[in-house]
Each structure stands twice: as C-alpha cells, then as structure tokens.
Chain A
Amino acid sequence: MTDILDHQIAERDKLANPRHDWASDNARRRIKRRYGRDRLLRIFGLGAVITALMLLAILIASLTYTGYVAFYTTKVKVEIFLDPQKIDRENPGKTKYRKMTKQAFNAYFPEVKNRKDKRNLSKILSSGAQYIVRDYVVSHPELIGQTVSLNLPLSDPFDQLQKGVIPRRIDAPGKNSGKNDGNGEKMLNPRFKSEKVLVWFDTLVARDMLSSPFSWELFVNADSRFPELAGLAGAFTGSLLALLVCFLISFPVGIAAAIYLEEFAPKNRFTDFVEVNINNLAAVPSVVFGLLALAVFINFFGLPRSVPLVGGMALALMTLPTIIVSTRAALKAVPPSIREAALGVGASRHEVVLHHVLPLAMPGILTGTIIGLAQALGETAPLLLIGMNAFIPSIENLGLMEPATALPTQIFAWGDSPERGFVSRTSAAILVLIGFLVMMNLVAIYLRQKFERKW
C-alpha cells in the first residue's frame, strides 16, 4: 500500500517538474547555501548596527567621564565683612573688592605673615572671586555694614586637585621620566606655587570649609579666562541668534525655491541644471560657505565681523540646500490624487499648493528644516572664518550686530586653552551641544508624529 503511495508521489513530483529533484543532494546543498547567505547578511547588518551603537556609547561615555567634573565647582565658604567705609553706597559697583575679598580669605590663616606667602595663599581663591562679591553687593545693597557668608570658587589648580583630576606630585624629569612606573623621583606639581599652599588647602579641607555644589556657572556665565567661572551662556545666546537668522532666511527662501522647482518650473535643461547643482551644494564643505560669507557679506557688503547676523547668513547658505532638497522630497510625496482633486474643483495652482500640498508636506518640511538647523548648530568652520569666535566675557551686550561666539566655536576655543579645567569644560560643553541636538531631533520627531496624516 505504502509502496503504491510512494510511487504515486514520485510520479506526481516528476510531473510537477520532471527535470528537478528537490530531494537530491545537490538541491539540498543549494537550499542550505541560500539559507546560509540569508543568515550571513543578517549577521553583517546586526554587526554594523552594534558597532555603530558601541562607538556612540564610547563617545558619550568618554565625554561624560571627562566632562562630569565640570558640572560641579569646588567652593570655599568665606565670611566677608562688607565695610561701609570702603563701599560706596551710591555706587557699590565701583568699589574695589579685590583687596576686601583677599583679606577676608587670608584672615582664616592669621599665621601667614610673609607678603609672598600671603599672595600665594590668596591664589587658592579664584581670581574672579572679587566679581562674585561685587555682584552680590550690587544685588544686596541693604547688607552693606554686615558680615555675609559667601561660597567662592577655588582657582583652577585647587578645583582640579579637589576633583582628583590632577595629582599633587608628578614624576620629576630625569632618568626615570616618562616611564611612569611610580618608582621615580617625585616633584611638586608645578601648577602649585609651593608645598605650603597644599598645606593651607588641606587645612581648608580639614576645617570642612569646602563644598562642591552644582555648577550653575557653566550655564549662566559667559566665557572667562578662569575655567572655574567660564560658562556657555554667551555662546548659547550667540548660537541662538545665529540660528534665528539662519532660520528666518533659509526657511522661507528654501520653501519658496522648492515649491517653484517642484510645482511651477517647466522641465527643461535649465531647471535640470539648477536641480543638480542644488543637490551638489548640499555636499559642499561648510568651510567654503564660510569663505563665501567672508568674501560677500563682510568684504563686499561691509557687514561687521564676528556678528551673529553674518554668522546666521553663512549658516543659511549652508542650510538652504538641505531645506530645498527635503522640501522637494516632501512635496513629491504628496499623492497626485490630492492635486487632481483640488484642480478638479477649480482651484488655481497657488491654491492647490497653499491649501493642499503644502499643509500635507509640512511634517516632512519641518523635519528637514530642523535637521538642517541641527547641522547648522554644530557647524564650526564657517563661523571661525567670519570670526564668530570672539571672547565674550559678559552676556549683557549681545545682539545681532554685536560680536559673539557660538557653541561649537566656544568648544573649539576651550579645547585650545592650556588650563586644566578647560578639558572637562570642553567635554561638558560638547555634552550640552549634543543635548541640544537630541532635543531638536526630538522636536522633529514630535512634529512629524503630530502633523502626519493618513489618506
């Protein structure tokens, strides 16, 4: 019985494809090989994704590792008597606070008499401490004549020492130098003036006068020569102004150009040429746009250097192709049936575009725009070329036509600075910049989700 069945199946298989035997070794091998290739492709893809994620994780981890110390500042609590005889009540900002601050701090070490020692002692305190005292008095004039207790930042070497970034002693230069095996001669880290300052510093620690609060300075201060006081507020304002200019120029111009090319332009050699060149422009190195901005806006039109207006215009040049390309893609993605429907009820071409096509393309356009702006936010080269890396120690005097700096150029400047504190400041600034980029992308995703329509 089964023989007959087997025979029947064999006959049927022959009929189905007389030349192919699915059960032969050859066929089995082929099938196995095909599955093997499927698996290989999947493994390659997965491997690529994992590699990319790992690189990203390494980047973030290393930035966080170096940068996290910049998010807090070592501060010392100092009691200062705001002497009414030395402070001008009418104009407290004009008073010299340097001496007052130094004396208040040195008072904790009455045993230090020597002038040189006194100078070294006061250098434990940040050189910017006097301005903190000044600002405090200006905002609290009613406290003049009283004794106030202020948390003043330490200067960079002591800040870094407390954070464990730099050691007290380093290997002495000599025969063992460079081996770093821990057995060589040791010497005082040259960032500290003498052994004494370390003793005084230890006294501060022992007296429990030090604290490590969150470093609001990083966000509310402008740039400073002293890393413990340097902040991103100036760079952030500059970036914001430049991005605003960039958006105001590139968004309307980009959309208008894309609408014309996509909806109205005749298809001929000229428009083909324009189209190819717009796509090429998107790939032009940004430094070229910086040179263009320098040559046209500054040299030819005589706009001032270093200002966010010109920076924004340079970034707009760079962002325009991105916006045009993404807008055209978004317009193309609107189904032709919607255009026909609108034309069919007698809408004119501008009504078709403004009432139907553009609203439907908006999520795509906005996503492209935000991604273009995020690129512009991280762009350094064009800003360096037009000089938008000015040293901005105060955020009071910022405007479209005032010299400014931006987040990436600030990172560039800090990365170039010799003070040890700027190493962690640079990493922290990069983290902040990445944070902004992530936020912008989240906004793009949100807008896409919100405005996306189905049909």
Chain B
Amino acid sequence: MSEKAMNMNVETPKEPVNAMNFQLPKELQVKVKTRDVNVHYGEKQALFDINLDVPANHVVSLIGPSGCGKSTYLRCLNRMNDIIDIARVSGQIELDGVDIYDKNIDVVELRARVGMVFQKPNPFPKSIFDNVAYGPRIHGLADNKTELEEIVVTSLQKAGLFDEVKDRLKDSGTGLSGGQQQRLCIARAIATKPEVILMDEPASALDPIATAVIEELIDELRQNFTIIIVTHSMQQAARISQYTAFFHLGYLVEVGDTEQIFTNPVDRRTQDYITGRFG
C-alpha cells in the first residue's frame, strides 16, 4: 500500500536526539501521547523511539524532508499501518490515556474517532451526500434520515463547502474541483465526529487559492478537533500550527512551539532544514 513509506532510506543519526527536552505547558490536556514508538517495514526500521505529546484542540504540524517518517508516524495514530503486511509497530500510543494498540481496541471505532485526510483528494465515486453520509451510516450515528441529513449539512458547513454544493448534493463527488474534493474529504472525515483529525499533506495537490481556503478551514476546525498535519511547506506549518515537530531520518529531532522552532531552533539539523540547507 504505502510504497512511499516502505522505500524510504533510514540511516543511523550521527547526532543525539533531543526531542525530549520539550515539555508541553501543564495546563494543556494531552490528547495523543506516544512513547518509544518504533516502526519497522520488514528489516528496515522507519521510526526510532518517537516520543510526542499532542495537546487537545491544537494544530501540530510534522515537518521534515521526504522519507523522514512523518507520514509513517501519522499512520500509526489511526493504525492505518495495520493494512501493510510487513509493517510492525511497537511502543505505546495513547488516545486519551488508552493504548490504541491494545488487543481490546476496535480498529473500526478508533478510525471513527481519529479521522484522516489524505494527500490526494480521494472522494468515493458516489454522490456528494453519500460521500459525507457514508461514515455516519456505517457507524449508525444517525437514527433516521433527518438526523443523517443534519449531520451531512453540518459537516459540509464546517468544511466550508456547503454553500458551493447545496444545490447538487446528488451529483458525483468526483466531479468537483480539486480543492472542493479535498474539502469534501474533510467533511467526510468530520462527519464521523472524530476527536482527532490526521492530515497527510492535505494541500500539496492544490493550487494556492484552494490551499488558503483549506488552511483557514484548519484554523477553524481547531475549535472542535485536535489536528495533526504533515506538511512539506514550512510556511504552511508556520501559518497554521501552534506546535511543530521536526522529523529527520526516522528520528523526532525537535519539538516545540512553532514560533520557537522557526525562529530559534535548538538543534542544528532543524536549523539547516528550515533555512533550506537540505530537504
């Protein structure tokens, strides 16, 4: 499935990892907590001892050069790595203090609580309504048609798409423009009423205007959801996130306040990366 993740090159870092130095402010509630997470694809190790706390109702962006493991990390959080046969995840990942890799955890429920938006807009080849209604339907979130319609409308409104599509909810979702498709995917993700939304480079396939719309949207969504976003654009990370984590070669090199990371990084590799020396 994720060939990109499997083909990446991982080398042993030459410098120590100092991500642990950062502590979230005490008053913030920790939504997602990861401790010593290691991921292997077959023989290759893709992530090394990742420790990261994600605060609720904040946007955390994961940055780093290609193949650094940020997508792999993201996919651990809703167990999308389960579908890759050779992927092996160890360590502890907690959502609200509950280990999501526990035997008793239902993956289906987890993925409803931790929604995901992908790099390429991937609406189902169904109507706009059915795209958004699919999640609520399979999870039984609506008792009747009116409730379902309400969920669909609210989700589309939250995703900032409703006004553009309200007259053609029966039309195919694949007929929308790229930016609209991506917002439809966001509406689909929030329709299951998740607590966390994972976004894997959601704007990388979009033009600047559509990107701006998505970025505004992410900022609004922060009121209700915890958002973890992978991005290649450092400007984007600086614009939308409160906290930033820098990944490099499978290691989490540095975590911090977005402003601090971009103005005053502790690690030299972070500095090299954000100043464009590599990546």
Most chain B beta-carbon contacts within 10 A, residue among A335, A336, A346, A454: A346
B124 touches A341 (CB 8 A): yes
Q: List, in ascending order, chain B residues with CB within 8 A of A340's CB.
A: 1, 80, 116, 118, 122
B138 touches A344 (CB 8 A): no
B118 touches A344 (CB 8 A): yes
Check if B27 is an interface residue, CB within 8 A of chain A: no
Check if A342 is an interface residue, CB within 8 A of chain B: yes
Number of A interface residues at 8 Å Cβ cutoff, please give it. 23
A343 to B79, CA, bound (A): 10
Q: List, in ascending order, chain B residues with CB within 8 A of A335's CB.
A: 122
Known A341-B185, A360-B125, A455-B125; judge A346-B135 contact (CB<8 A): yes
Known A266-B85, A347-B108; judge A342-B78 contact (CB<8 A): no
Q: Quick one: which of A337, A356, A455 contacts B118, CB cutoff 8 A?
A: A337
A346 to B138, CA, bound (A): 8
Contact indicator per residue, chain A 323-353, by CB within 8 Å of chain B (1) or not (0): 0000000000001111111111111100100
Q: Quick one: which of B83, B108, B120, B122 contacts A346, CB cutoff 8 A?
A: B108
Check if B174 is an interface residue, CB within 8 A of chain A: yes
Check if B192 is an interface residue, CB within 8 A of chain A: yes
Total A-B pairs in contact (CB under 8 Å)?
73
Q: List, in ascending order, chain B residues with CB within 8 A of A355's CB.
A: 134, 138
Q: Quick one: which of B108, B109, B124 contacts A338, CB cutoff 8 A?
A: B124
Q: Quick one: which of B80, B124, B188 contacts A343, CB cutoff 8 A?
A: B80
Known A336-B1, A337-B120, A351-B138; judge A344-B125 contact (CB<8 A): no
Contact indicator per residue, chain B 160-199, by CB within 8 Å of chain A (1) or not (0): 0000000000000010000000000100110110000000
Contact indicator per residue, chain B 98-112, by CB within 8 Å of chain A (1) or not (0): 000000000111111
B139 touches A346 (CB 8 A): yes
Known A266-B85, A336-B1; judge A343-B122 contact (CB<8 A): no
Name the prevailing secondary structure of the A interface residues.
Answer: helix
Q: Quick one: which of A336, A348, A356, A454 contacts B124, CB cutoff 8 A?
A: A356
Most chain B beta-carbon contacts within 10 A, residue among A267, A343, A347, A348: A343
Check if A29 is an interface residue, CB within 8 A of chain B: no
Q: Quick one: which of A341, A351, A454 contacts B122, CB cutoff 8 A?
A: A341
Within the complex, what minimum Cβ distance (angstroms) separates B238 from chain A? 27
Number of B interface residues at 8 Å Cβ cutoff, please give it. 30
Smallest CB-CB separation from A352: which chain B residue? B83
Q: Quick one: which of B83, B123, B139 contacts A341, CB cutoff 8 A?
A: B123
Smallest CB-CB separation from A341: which chain B residue? B122
B115 touches A345 (CB 8 A): yes
B85 touches A267 (CB 8 A): yes
A346 touches B125 (CB 8 A): no
A347 touches B138 (CB 8 A): yes
Q: List, in ascending order, chain B residues with CB within 8 A of A336's CB.
A: 1
A360 to B174, CA, bound (A): 14
B108 touches A344 (CB 8 A): no
Check if A453 is an interface residue, CB within 8 A of chain B: yes
Q: Quick one: which of A267, A346, A360 contacts B111, CB cutoff 8 A?
A: A346
A454 to B191, CA, bound (A): 25
A331 to B243, CA, bound (A): 41
A343 touches B174 (CB 8 A): no
Smallest CB-CB separation from B75: which chain A residue? A340
Binding site for A on B (CB under 8 A): 1, 78, 80, 83, 85, 107-112, 115-118, 120, 122-125, 134-135, 138-139, 174, 185, 188-189, 191-192
Q: List 21 A-B contacts (CB under 8 A).
A: A335-B122, A337-B118, A337-B120, A339-B83, A340-B80, A340-B122, A341-B124, A343-B80, A343-B83, A343-B111, A344-B80, A344-B116, A345-B111, A345-B115, A346-B110, A346-B138, A346-B192, A348-B138, A453-B174, A455-B123, A455-B174
Other than A341-B118, A344-B78, give 5 A-B pairs with Cβ distance below 8 A: A341-B123, A344-B118, A345-B112, A345-B138, A346-B139
